Amino acid sequence: MNELASIIQLGNPILRQKAVFIENVQDEKIQNLIDELITSVAQANGVGIAAPQIAASYRLFIVASHPNKRYPHAPEMPPTAMINPQILAHCSEMVKDWEGCLSVPGIRGLVPRYQTIEIEYTDRNGNLQKQELTDFVARIFQHEYDHLEGLVFLDRVENNQDLISEEEYQKSVMGNG
Ligand code: ZN
């Protein structure tokens, strides 16, 4: 069993690096990294995590959508490893919603994202997958993809007034349902 990897936080330069392409998905190191990420996201009860967040600067993230208080209709999906992901196309419409990040504790931001995106990635068995994602899952994908480019959600908010504390978020946003 792997020990739980610690999640690095804003200020660690790895979060600002462009992550490297994965040449060999079957590499034991990569397969172990996938398992480690799946364990980490489950422990944190998160909906996504990118490899750079555990200090492994590879183009790999996990999307693990599940229904939650704010998104009761979020699709329930098994934690899915997406390797060398790409956004092939996107709609013109952007929607704003609140995001948080395991690497940016205590802060929430109102972030514009494309509502619908067409994506591809290699799965952990080495097969190329193409999908159209919308709404919450599209948002998770774009948030995690940004991590591979050295960006965090703070870079995407339109102004500082769209940043609030976790405590205020819990009180006002969650409180209003
Ligand atoms: Zn994040």
Q: Which amino acid is at 120?
A: E
Cα 152 to middle of ligand 1, angstroms: 6
pLDDT at site 148: 98
Give me the residue label for tokens 């999906």.
77
Cα 48 to middle of ligand 1, angstroms: 7
Distance in angstroms (rounded) separating the CA atoms of residues 177 and 129: 35
What's the number of CA atoms in the CB half-sphere (13 Å) around residue 12?
16
Cα 74 to middle of ligand 1, angstroms: 18
Say what the pTM is: 0.94
pLDDT at site 117: 98
Reading phi first (left if > 0) and then psi (alpha if -120 to 50, else beta), residue 72 is in: alpha
pLDDT at site 41: 93
pLDDT at site 74: 83
How far is CA 71 from its chain centroid? 16
Q: Which residues contact 32 (CB under 8 A, 6 or more apart)?
A: 2
Q: Which two tokens stand for residue 133?
A: 């994602």
pLDDT at site 21: 98
Give me the residue label for tokens 């205590």.
106
Cα angle at 39 between 142 and 136, to 5 degrees? 25
Cα 102 to middle of ligand 1, angstroms: 6
Cα 10 to middle of ligand 1, angstroms: 10
Question: Quick check: 19 and 57 in contact, CB under 8 A?
Answer: yes
Tell me the CA distances in angstroms from 171 to 8, 104, 160, one per residue in order: 27, 19, 19
Question: pLDDT digit of tens for each residue in the chain (177 aa)?
Answer: 455 679 999 999 999 999 999 999 999 999 999 999 999 999 988 999 999 999 999 999 999 999 877 677 788 989 999 999 999 999 999 999 999 999 999 999 999 999 999 999 999 999 999 999 999 999 999 999 999 999 999 999 999 999 999 999 988 877 754
Residues designated catalytic = 144
